[in-house]
A and B are shown apart, each in its own frame.
Chain A
Amino acid sequence: MIAFAAPASATAPGLFLPRILREAFRREPLYAGAAAILAISMLPTLVAYALDDRLVVGVAAWAKPLKFEASLATYLFTLAWFAGWLPAGHVRRRPHWLLSRAVVVAVALEMAWLVGAAAHGVASHFNVESQAMVNIYRAMGALAVLLTSASAVLGIAILRARDAGGDPALRLAIGIGLVLTVVLTLPTAGYLSSGAGHLVGVEAEGARRLALFGWARDGGDLRVAHFLATHALHAIPLAGWVASRLLAAGAARMAVILCSLAYAMLVAWTFAEALAGRPFLPFLG
């Protein structure tokens, strides 16, 4: 009867796609595709955020799914982009094929849980109301470890592929950044998730918070270290990119290593400060 399919001219060849997205899809189609779908899911989630006035632990119910859609989309897009530094054909080989599918399934399960929890107006994290909730929280933690570990696997493969071309200092920075993200995230996020909550020594829920990030201004907040740890995969490659433009090869390499050490110390410092109940850069916000 009436055909709902678009005419053939509206499909693939003429599809509008900004160059940066086209390149990400070429490098790692699964990660790029999952990132795109997460980004698109932010649209209905924003509508739900605007309509739903329920609060979960003092925060709008849909804030958390929204944040995770944004951050997981960023994470997967970053992995897709850096996959361009792998040797040719690596993405299509069995180990990467299996791991990337496992990662996308883990992301899908995490998002299903976060959206389901928000829809029911219950806490998705630190929920100890019942044994079932505790078990789900543990399972989600295991999936989070799985999806984070993909960054280290990718980083090691990039570090080992020295002959695959590109600037050596930038390759080193990308590889270290991807590995450091996992090395720093596992202890900080692991400690954060195994406690009772993300705040240390804060008097009241809903007190002063840093805009957008929501970090506590009147006490320690363990999420600062988690945030910085997880963004090592952006910070170190950025430092490597700058170093590779400004410095000779040997000096750029040294600069990348020094920046990586400094960044790891910064994460350790914010973690220690939060544990001591002190806010991160209290003059902000």
Chain B
Amino acid sequence: MILPPEAAFSAANSLALAGWVALLASPRFPRAAQAVAGAAAPLLLSIAYTGIILASWTRAEGGFGSLAEVMRLFDSPLVALASWIHYLAFDLLVGAAIARGAREEAIAFVLVIPCLVLAFLFGPAGFLAFAALRWTRRAARAATIQE
């Protein structure tokens, strides 16, 4: 094995982290942040994911049919590595979409930071937080205009 899974794991983490740092700097460098977090880093992670799945899928046990089968899939270190990279890539894409949406609607970045932190740590929770924030702002604005 030319690339040990632990080394691939560290490299993928560093790459994703670079994307999240770019998103934190996105108010100053919006285009560069989107290029890194919305395209380059997720694409590299997707290449890694696809290659790892090609190399490991047919040898893994388990399946998608039940929770027990899915847990058996993760017994394979390469499938677990691929799944981790799957989280990294897709959470980063959600983070990039949050930064883009916040910019389009001119949402104050201090409010966006907690959403990004949540998306970084717990993907869907950050997505939910940003959706709630945006809906609340839209609702408040609509209500003010109506009066």
Chain A residues at the B interface, C-beta cutoff of 8 Å: 1-4, 6-7, 43-53, 62, 115, 118-121
Which of these, A3, A6, A45, contacts B51 with CB under 8 Å?
A45
Contacting A at CB under 8 A, from B45-84, are 47-48, 50-52, 54-59, 78
Q: Please state if B97 and A51 are interface contacts (CB–CB under 8 Å).
A: no
Q: Residues of B within 8 Å of A, CB-based: how many?
A: 28
**Nearest CB in chain A to that of B101: its residue:** A2
**Nearest CB in chain A to that of B44: its residue:** A43
Instruction: Please give the distance in Å from A50's CB to the nearest CB on chain B.
Output: 4
Q: Please state if A47 and B101 are interface contacts (CB–CB under 8 Å).
A: no
Does B27 make an interface contact (CB < 8 A)? Answer: no
- A118–B130 Cα distance when bound, in Å, is 43
Beyond known contacts A51-B51, A52-B55: 17 more, CB 8 A cutoff: A2-B94, A44-B48, A44-B50, A44-B54, A48-B54, A48-B55, A49-B2, A51-B1, A51-B3, A51-B8, A51-B52, A52-B1, A62-B55, A118-B54, A119-B54, A119-B55, A120-B58
- A48–B59 Cα distance when bound, in Å, is 13
- A4–B96 Cα distance when bound, in Å, is 9
**Main SS class of interface, B:** helix
- A17–B93 Cα distance when bound, in Å, is 24
Which of these, A4, A45, A48, A52, contacts B97 with CB under 8 Å?
A4
Q: Please state if B101 and A48 are interface contacts (CB–CB under 8 Å).
A: no
- Chain A residues within 8 Å of B94, by CB: 2
Given A2-B97, A44-B51: A119 touches B58 (CB 8 Å cut-off) = yes
Does B41 make an interface contact (CB < 8 A)? Answer: no
Given A51-B1, A51-B52: A1 touches B131 (CB 8 Å cut-off) = yes
Instruction: Please give the distance in Å from A131's CB to the nearest CB on chain B.
Output: 22
Does B20 make an interface contact (CB < 8 A)? Answer: no
Given A51-B3, A62-B55: A3 touches B50 (CB 8 Å cut-off) = no
Q: Please state if A2 and B55 are interface contacts (CB–CB under 8 Å).
A: no
Q: Please state if B54 and A3 are interface contacts (CB–CB under 8 Å).
A: no
- A43–B47 Cα distance when bound, in Å, is 6
Which of these, A2, A45, A52, contacts B130 with CB under 8 Å?
A2
- A169–B51 Cα distance when bound, in Å, is 45
Q: Please state if A44 and B47 are interface contacts (CB–CB under 8 Å).
A: yes
Q: Please state if A51 and B56 are interface contacts (CB–CB under 8 Å).
A: yes
Q: List 25 A-B contacts (CB under 8 A).
A: A2-B98, A3-B97, A3-B100, A4-B97, A6-B39, A7-B100, A44-B47, A44-B48, A44-B51, A46-B51, A47-B48, A47-B51, A47-B54, A49-B2, A50-B3, A50-B51, A51-B1, A51-B2, A51-B3, A51-B55, A51-B56, A51-B78, A52-B55, A115-B54, A119-B57
**Nearest CB in chain A to that of B94: its residue:** A2
- Chain B residues within 8 Å of A120, by CB: 58
Instruction: Please give the distance in Å from B130's CB to the nearest CB on chain A.
Output: 7
Query: B12-43, CB under 8 A of A: which get 1 and which 0?
Result: 00000000000000000000000000110000
